[in-house]
Amino acid sequence: MVSAQLHDRLVVVLVAGLLVIVAILAFVYPLARPVQAQNVREFSLTAQPANITVSAGVVWNAWTYNGTVPGPTLRVRVGDLVRIHFTNNLDLRHSIHVHSRPDVYVYV
């Protein structure tokens, strides 16, 4: 059986270790800044099937966004609040993936 003194030391070491881990995570992944939008930009994306002619006589059954492959480019400025209204007209589950610069926060 572990002595009470050794038990207390283990608890202190474990708590200290957890605090170090939390401090590292807070440094690496800072808390999200509140959004202070300059403009609100809204976009509508619809995932839908379409037959796209790739070349003469070659038709591709594609999943499209707003009828195009690739989907539209959404251009915004730093500080804009972006709302994307996504409609899935496919017979499968579907999602979108947002890319941004590393210093821009993305809330999904």
Better-scored residue on pLDDT, 95 or 108 = 95
**Per 3-state DSSP, what percentage of the chain is helix, strand, and coil (rounded to 5)?**
25, 30, 45
7 has pLDDT over 60:
yes
User: What does pLDDT average to over the chain?
Assistant: 81
Residue with tokens 């972006």: 82
Confidence of residue 1 (pLDDT cuts 50, 70, 90): low
Residue 38 sits at φ, ψ, to 5 deg, of -80, -45
Residue with tokens 């610069």: 101
Question: What confidence score (pLDDT) does residue 47 get?
Answer: 93
10-62 per-position pLDDT tens digit: 878 788 888 888 888 777 776 666 556 678 899 999 999 999 888 999 999 99
